[in-house]
Amino acid sequence: MADTLIAVSPKDTRAQRQLDALLEQEGICRDGNLDYTCGLFDADWKLAATGSCFGNTIRCLAVDRRRQGEGLLNQVVSHLMEVQAERGNTHLFLYTKPQSARFFCDLGFYEIARVEDRLVFLENRRRGFSDYCTALEQMRREGEAAAVVMNANPFTLGHLHLVERAAAAHETVHLFVLSEEAGPIPSTVRRRLVQAGVSHLSNVICHESGPYIISGATFPSYFLKDADSVIHTHAALDLEVFGKIAPRLNIRYRYVGEEKSSRVTALYNGEMVRRLPELGIQCRVIPRLEHDGQPVSASTVRRWIHDGRLGEIGPLVPKTTWDYFASPEAKPVIAAIRACEDVIHY
């Protein structure tokens, strides 16, 4: 009887136990955030190979070592690519172990970055990352530059304080606003509020982060809770990719806000302090702007909106952000924030 390739239900406890055992056997940490998993089972319904998806990424790929060399991984990846095509995802990213990277290159994936002996990050577009960097390079200016990366969910006076500190110290600041749709405030709104809030700073250039900076592909655990070890690995990957972007814009400094409340951001900041100097980039951690003795944060703004305290956010946000939330245009966004169960970034 031939092998059978099927979707594995989260409720199938027997299959889930086999998945965990196979991944552990192959030294792979099972991702806590997956939205599709398949398994290739033999005639006795023993798991021979598996792979999973999350968003437009393919991950958690493994083949039983007793069945390696039979082309099983090719079957699994082909199936997952079909699943992604049905979802409308054509630009795909893939994580694998370094020793498996060459195999995926033969399947039409191209390496973007790797984290030591832990992880290789690939995409299925030959010039995807290269074209992204080339487009950014059109905005390069003379002299050393600094970078700021932010979600700005929404843009606060704390964000503005960070950008102004960088703008005062450098000829050019490249400000990357996360493109990911991962909250009640749409990316188009977040980006517009950032651009309006920094419009008085002539040396600040705003960019969309795209899929290569703190995205669901490079850093999914920024958006979804995961184990600290996974957060560290994702953060390291994100910074490796950023280290390839920075020279295209002559970025030598990256500014970040001090973090005391968000666990994932604090872990990410720690990785930046350790890793960025190795990539030729100095990391400058700026103390948070405070209001009434408390750090100004987007989480606080969202919580106050959620709790019906919209009128109190004025001291925490630029006038441009306040004008938006006080306008009729913001009503659907305010309703979406109030409908959230949890508005605090973990």
288 is a domain residue? yes
> 240 with 329, same domain?
yes
What is the rounded average pLDDT for all residues in the chain? 92
pLDDT digits (tens, 9 = 90+) for 50-67: 999 999 999 999 999 999
100 is a domain residue? no
61 is a domain residue? yes
> 63 with 154, same domain?
no
344 is a domain residue? no
187 is a domain residue? yes
Domain count, the chain: 2
pLDDT digits (tens, 9 = 90+) for 285-340: 999 999 999 999 999 999 999 999 999 999 999 999 999 999 999 999 999 999 99
CATH of the domain at 155: 3.40.50.620
> 90 with 146, same domain?
no
Which residue range forms the structural domain that includes residue 299? 141-339
Predicted pLDDT at 228: 73
Predicted TM-score (pTM) of this structure: 0.90
SS (H, E, C) 285-317: EECCCEECCEECCHHHHHHHHHCCCHHHCHHHC
Give percent of the chain above pLDDT 70.
Answer: 96
Q: Which structure tokens are listed for 29? A: 């940490």
pLDDT above 60 for 222: no
Question: What's the farthest any 2 CA atoms get from each other in the chain?
Answer: 71
Q: How far apart are CA 74 and CA 103, in angstroms?
A: 9
Q: Give mean pLDDT, residues 93-119.
A: 89
Predicted pLDDT at 346: 45
Predicted pLDDT at 20: 93
Are 96 and 60 in contact, with CB atoms under 8 Å apart? no
Q: Give mean pLDDT, residues 21-42.
A: 89
> 155 with 223, same domain?
yes
> 35 with 173, same domain?
no
310 is a domain residue? yes
pLDDT above 50 for 110: yes
pLDDT digits (tens, 9 = 90+) for 121-169: 999 999 999 999 999 999 999 999 999 999 999 999 999 999 999 999 9
Placement of tokens 């003795």 in the chain: 293
114 is a domain residue? no
> 16 with 85, same domain?
yes
Q: Which structure tokens are listed for 251? A: 């970025």
> 149 with 75, same domain?
no
Amino acid 274 reads: R
Q: How far apart are CA 211 and CA 56, in angstroms?
A: 10
CATH of the domain at 26: 3.40.630.30
pLDDT above 70 for 257: yes
> 296 with 172, same domain?
yes
> 163 with 266, same domain?
yes
Q: Give mean pLDDT, residues 182-205.
A: 96
Predicted pLDDT at 9: 93
> 170 with 316, same domain?
yes
Predicted pLDDT at 1: 55
Range among 10-14, 154-158, 221-225 rated most confident: 154-158
